[in-house]
Amino acid sequence: MKKILFGQSYYLRFDPKLWDAMMPYPPLGTMYAASYIRARGYTVALFDAMLAESEDEWAKSLDEHRPRYAVIFEDNFNYLSKMCLLRMREAAFTMIAMAKERGCVVILCGADATDHYLEYLEKGADYVLLGEGEETLGELLDQLSAGQDAKDLVGLASRYTLHPSRRPDISKLDSLPFPAWDLIDLEKYKKIWMERHGYYSMNMVTTRGCPYHCNWCAKPIWGQRYNSRTPENVAAEMKWLKETYAPDHIWFADDIFGLKPKWVEKFAELLQEHNAVIPFKCLKRADLITENTAHALAAAGCKTVWLGAESGSQKILDAMDKGDKIEDIHRAAELLHQNKIEVGFFLQFGYPGETWSDVQMTLKMVRECAPDDVGISVSYPLPGTKFFERVKLELGEKQNWVDSDDLAMLYRGPFSQEFYRILHGRVHHEFRVRRAWRKADLRGMVRTPYYLLGWLRTEMKLRSQVRLQR
């Protein structure tokens, strides 16, 4: 069998905000693909761009492994891949060129490649896998290895494909082998986590997709479909990870963790039965948090739940087609806190129609719910979403952020771009002051005067911006 080199183009080094945070996770989607193809009998290697310094390391990996096929298979469980950051797209183009120079057949898979497959083909890719890629990749490699024409494969785009199509998603996720952790330099990750944070975290997924209809959320890989592993399969993987690598913590990268009724309850039961509990964090919808769910999450070892709160204004949540109610967010935060689970809020500002009053409602929600952490962004129009269609006539030449710290308003928002940059700081300043006093955090209290001054300063700037725009 010809050797296959897998890689991906998300370089933490090229994303200053997350490089500074330094909480790296290996590319799970790439590892799943490598494991799947290896199970079909192929010889595989994996280049991990996450901690690489530049694309030059990809070139060295190509020279070392001399693969026949170079597969740039993006980690579709990394939300940043879905955002199609320009710096990472440029890296993918560079990696394609490097592989072609060495005579490789180049295959792409990922959210950006699915949305813009013609651009990737023009840059030299031989094939682009549309949507979920494992099964298409397996069939493609089988046909190419046998010297057969693969242009009519379902789920594939090439220069010769007249009508690219998508194949059905993998519904029986338990049939997939566990990710190829043995191809990752785990000691490098562990050393970083221990030095920077004092514990070691690994990543997992229990599902693929999301069935909800938030109109700003792009779903180029799974669309509205949602497939789940069984609690038995996930518990078995956690037990294996605990016994093999002994992580201190797990990050579940699912869009929504434990959506199916009673899934979390069964999961908690299995973890305790098999001594497989590992502290973890996950994402949930507020309206899915019940007393039973919160209790089961705690029993399973959940340390943190991140909620897509987005806004404290019901008007804005309804405009987003979010499906949540403000009272759901309050109740979810209360139930989680009662069960000793930390709460994180994702907040989104700048959605069309948002007013100064709506902003104040969001600040009020954060004060009252007292989350333990917040993540703040501005609304981001992604291709394929209703939101994108709504604002596309307002988009300029720049339609993607360069990196995750960009925060540019890509369309004409309710307020100026400067307003949202100031608001970003304003929310963080107040949040840190209140959290330090609420938790009696001595280190935070030492910096309270700094944050308090920042809070007052940014509040004055915001009010000035509002007056100017009235």
Q: What is the DSSP string of 166-211?
A: -PPP---GGGSPPP-GGGS-HHHHHHHHHHHHSS-EEEE-SEEE--
Nearest to 218 by CA among 367, 452, 389, 414: 389
φ, ψ of residue 148 to 5 degrees: the values are: -100, 160
Task: Answer whether residue 185 is part of any domain.
Answer: no
Residues 185-203 pLDDT 10s: 999 999 999 999 999 999 9
Q: Specify the higher pLDDT residue, 193 or 443.
A: 193
Beta bridge partners of 227: 208
The count of other CB atoms within 10 Å of the CB of residue 353 is: 10
Nearest to 184 by CA among 46, 33, 371, 6: 46
Look at residue 360 in the predicted model and tell me its pLDDT.
97
- Whole-number Cα distances in Å, 449 to 412, 431, 463: 35, 13, 21
Q: Please tell me whether residues 256 and 389 are part of one structural domain.
A: yes
Q: Please tell me whether residues 211 and 146 are part of one structural domain.
A: no
Do the strands 302-310 and 280-284 form a parallel or antiparallel pair, or are they unpaired? Answer: parallel
Q: Please tell me whether residues 153 and 208 are part of one structural domain.
A: no
Look at residue 162 in the predicted model and tell me its pLDDT.
72
Host domain of residue 58: 3-158
d(CA 417, CA 408): 7
Residues 375-430 pLDDT 10s: 999 998 887 788 888 888 888 878 888 888 878 888 888 998 899 999 999 999 99
> Locate tokens 């010889």: which residue?
43
pTM of the model as a whole: 0.94
Q: How many distinct structural domains can be found in the chain?
A: 2
DSSP 3-state assignment of 250?
strand
Q: Please tell me whether residues 210 and 142 are part of one structural domain.
A: no
Can you read off the two tokens belonging to residue 60? 């060295």
Q: Please tell me whether residues 149 and 8 are part of one structural domain.
A: yes
d(CA 139, CA 153): 8
Nearest to 14 by CA among 402, 468, 460: 402
Q: Please tell me whether residues 309 and 382 are part of one structural domain.
A: yes
Residue 76 is part of a domain; what is its CATH number? Answer: 3.40.50.280
d(CA 129, CA 165): 10
Evaluate if residue 101 carries a pLDDT over 80.
Answer: yes
d(CA 385, CA 214): 9
Task: Answer whether residue 287 is part of any domain.
Answer: yes
> Locate tokens 């000793």: which residue?
340
